[in-house]
């Protein structure tokens, strides 16, 4: 049975919406008087959540999505990104495409999870269900970025919600398929 590529029941869904709506983190750090580790300023707008480490008082957790993206070594350098599919919104893509450099093997469009999201989801088609379920293996990107990794997707970006496409063979064309049954 092929993996369920749906993002709706995936832990990443929440992190993607948090990442898209988050404000940049200030560079100035200060020690909170109630916590054992540094926290960003200003403290007023940050939600208070229980600390999952040694601290016994409530404090602000480290936003893991910020550090995880920074640690990834992308296949394309930032200066190689050209304007191929601009102003099309954001999407979710796996590291198999952005880090490993594989072509898009399966793509589908679902309802957007926020105002920035286009609803597009991109996979190489070689991901296992465990890989897809691990939110650290996917990220929110501008569609233009993914179009630079695989320009073959550009012709299909105008497709409506519910559309799905796959690459029939390595180096082959991307063709429409039923959204529930990727053959990869």
Q: Is residue 28 a part of any domain in this protein?
A: no
Contacts of 179 (CB under 8 A, 6+ apart): 108, 162, 163, 164
Is the residue at 35 inside a domain?
no
Of 167, 157, 149, nearest in space to 109 by CA: 157
Pinpoint the alpha helices (H) of 7-92.
Answer: 12-21, 64-71
pTM: 0.62
Strand order in the sheet with 90-94: 138-142, 90-94, 117-123, 106-109, 164-167, 174-177
Look at residue 152 and tell me if it is in a domain: yes
Q: Does any domain span residue 147?
A: yes
Q: At what angle do helices 12-21 and 64-71 cross, to 10 degrees?
A: 90
User: For 40-44, 79-83, 144-148, which range has the lowest pLDDT when averaged over its residues?
Assistant: 40-44
Q: Quick check: is 58 in a domain?
A: no
The percentage of residues in the chain with a pLDDT greater than 90, rounded to a whole number, is: 54
Residue 64 lies in a domain: no
pLDDT in tens, 101-149: 999 999 999 999 999 999 999 999 999 999 999 999 999 999 999 999 9
- Estimate to the nearest angstrom the gap between the alpha carbon of 90 and the chain centroid: 9
Give the whole-angstrom CA distance, residue 157 versus residue 155: 6
* 95 in a structural domain: yes
Range(s) of the domain holding residue 98? 12-17+69-177
pLDDT number for residue 169: 85
Total structural domains in the chain? 1
Does the residue 132 lie in any domain?
A: yes
């Amino acid at each position: 049975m092929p993996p369920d590529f749906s993002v709706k029941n995936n832990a990443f869904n929440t992190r993607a919406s948090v990442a898209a709506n988050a404000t940049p983190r200030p560079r100035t750090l200060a020690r909170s008087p109630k916590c054992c580790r540094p926290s960003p300023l200003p403290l007023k707008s940050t939600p208070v959540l229980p600390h999952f480490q040694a601290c016994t008082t409530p404090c602000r957790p480290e936003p893991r999505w910020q550090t995880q993206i920074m640690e990834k070594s992308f296949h394309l350098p930032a200066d190689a990104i050209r304007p191929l599919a601009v102003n099309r919104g954001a999407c979710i893509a796996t590291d198999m495409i952005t880090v490993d450099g594989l072509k898009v093997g399966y793509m589908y469009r679902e309802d957007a999870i926020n105002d920035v999201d286009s609803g597009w989801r991109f996979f190489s088609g070689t991901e296992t269900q465990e890989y897809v379920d691990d939110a650290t293996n996917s990220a929110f990107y501008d569609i233009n970025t993914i179009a630079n990794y695989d320009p073959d997707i550009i012709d299909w970006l105008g497709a409506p919600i519910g559309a799905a496409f796959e690459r029939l063979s390595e180096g082959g064309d991307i063709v429409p398929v039923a959204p529930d049954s990727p053959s990869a």
